[in-house]
Amino acid sequence: MPPIVSAGRLRNSPYYESTIAEGAESFLTYNRMLIPRGYGDREAEYWRLINSVSMWDVAVQRQVQLKGPDAARLAQILCTRNLSKQQIGQGKYVAVCDHLGTLINDPIALKIDDNCYWLSIGNSDIWFWARCVAGERRLNVEVSEPDVSPLAVQGPNAEDVVASLVGDWVRSLKYFWFRDAMLGDIPLKVARSGWSKQGGFELYLMDGSKGDHLWQLVKEAGKPFDIGPGYPNPSERTESGLLNWGVDTDEMTNPFEVRMGTYVDLDLDDDVIGIKALRRIKAEGIRRHQLGIIADRNYENEDQSIWLEIEKDGVVIGHMTHKAWSYRLQAMIGYALVSIDANPGDAIEVLENGRRVSGSLSELPFVM
Distance of alpha carbon 239 from alpha carbon 155, whole angstroms: 15
Tell me the helix, strand and coil percentages in the chain, rounded to 5: 25, 30, 45
CB of 322 closer than 8 Å to CB of 278: no
CB of 217 or CB of 242, closer to ligand THG: 242
Radius of gyration, alpha carbons of the chain: 21
Q: Angle of helix 126-136 relative to helix 71-78, nearest 10 degrees?
A: 120
On the 0-12 / 13-18 / 19+ scale of CB atoms within 10 A, 303 is exposed
Distance of alpha carbon 245 from alpha carbon 194, whole angstroms: 15
* Selected range binding ligand THG among 141-149, 191-199, 222-230, 309-317, rule: CB under 6 A: 191-199
Site for ligand THG, residues 144 to 173, rule: CB under 6 A: 150
CB of 122 to ligand THG, least distance (A): 4
Q: Which ranges in 273-319 belong to alpha helices (H)?
A: 275-284
* Selected range binding ligand THG among 34-42, 120-128, 129-137, 181-189, rule: CB under 6 A: 120-128
Site for ligand THG, residues 266 to 325, rule: CB under 6 A: none
Q: Which of 89, 122, 155, 359 binds ligand THG (CB under 6 A)?
A: 122
* Selected range binding ligand THG among 4-12, 74-82, 103-111, 343-351, rule: CB under 6 A: 103-111
CB of 349 closer than 8 Å to CB of 338: no
CB of 194 to ligand THG, least distance (A): 5
CB of 7 to ligand THG, least distance (A): 26
Q: Which of 101, 194, 200, 318 binds ligand THG (CB under 6 A)?
A: 194
255 lies in the site for ligand THG, by CB under 6 A: no
CB of 16 or CB of 195, closer to ligand THG: 195
Q: Which of 16, 195, 231, 325 binds ligand THG (CB under 6 A)?
A: 195
* Selected range binding ligand THG among 101-109, 159-167, 268-276, 284-292, rule: CB under 6 A: 101-109
CB of 299 to ligand THG, least distance (A): 28
3-state secondary structure of 2: coil
Q: Which of 74, 214, 243, 338 binds ligand THG (CB under 6 A)?
A: 243
On the 0-12 / 13-18 / 19+ scale of CB atoms within 10 A, 125 is middle
Q: What number of chain residues touch ligand THG (CB under 6 A)?
A: 15
CB of 284 to ligand THG, least distance (A): 25
3-state secondary structure of 163: helix
107 lies in the site for ligand THG, by CB under 6 A: yes
* Selected range binding ligand THG among 8-16, 64-72, 73-81, 104-112, rule: CB under 6 A: 104-112
Q: Which long-range contacts link 15-19 to residues 24+ away (Cβ below 8 Å)?
A: 15/57, 15/59, 15/149, 15/151, 15/211, 15/212, 15/214, 15/215, 16/57, 16/211, 17/212, 18/57, 18/211, 18/212, 18/215, 18/216, 19/57, 19/215, 19/229
CB of 202 to ligand THG, least distance (A): 5
* Selected range binding ligand THG among 48-56, 105-113, 136-144, 221-229, rule: CB under 6 A: 105-113
Q: Which of 22, 57, 70, 106 binds ligand THG (CB under 6 A)?
A: 106
Distance of alpha carbon 307 from alpha carbon 309, whole angstroms: 6
CB of 104 closer than 8 Å to CB of 96: yes
CB of 247 or CB of 266, closer to ligand THG: 247
* Selected range binding ligand THG among 11-19, 117-125, 128-136, 140-148, rule: CB under 6 A: 117-125
Distance of alpha carbon 67 from alpha carbon 219, whole angstroms: 34
108 lies in the site for ligand THG, by CB under 6 A: yes
For binding to ligand THG (CB under 6 A), which residues are involved? 61, 93, 106-108, 120-122, 150, 193-195, 202, 242-243
